[in-house]
Amino acid sequence: MPVPAAPPADNEYLDLTPGSHLSVTVPYFKSGRYVAPTGSETEDKGVVTMSAPDLIGVQVSHFAVEGRADQRVRLLFLSADTTRDGKKTTEEQAPALPFALPKGYRHVRLVYFVRSSQADHNMAITASKTMPDMNEFTNRMRADPSICEKPGPVSCVWVPPGIAVRAE
């Protein structure tokens, strides 16, 4: 995945804490990509409607953020629903995601790289065993996003464009 340009210094992040939830929305397109190809757009009374004729379905997975006795956080699969061609099915097991969720770390952080608007952003998921390592990495990442792809004490994965990861 290409590394995004360095973001402005005022980007936000969110640490996942026990008791919170995480949802991951993955759209499915005939093209195999996760970003909708440009389709037609209409506006009626301030409501913009966009068409994505290539869209064949969407999957929404839900995870709980649990605290463990060893102070690590763990992402526990709760449920997933897949809608294809208008038919909704419930997944019995955690579906394969187009990126790896961190395992075995004490701290997990969602890092947002906002460009010109909330709709124009990249996201990374970082994980670390210590908060000082996490904070140092986040500060370094603001100046040089390419460090996400380098091995070190902090795990970092880019969320592919078009995938929505949201803490609840």
Which pLDDT belongs to residue 48? 58
Which pLDDT belongs to residue 36? 62
8 A C-beta contact, residue 122 and residue 129: no
Domain residues of the chain, as ranges? 13-34+50-167
Token representation of residue 157: 């994965």
* Residue 45 CA: distances (Å) to CA of 49, 50, 132, 160: 11, 14, 49, 33
Number of C-beta neighbours around residue 65 at 10 A: 19
Q: In the chain, which residues have pLDDT < 50? A: 1-8, 116-118, 120
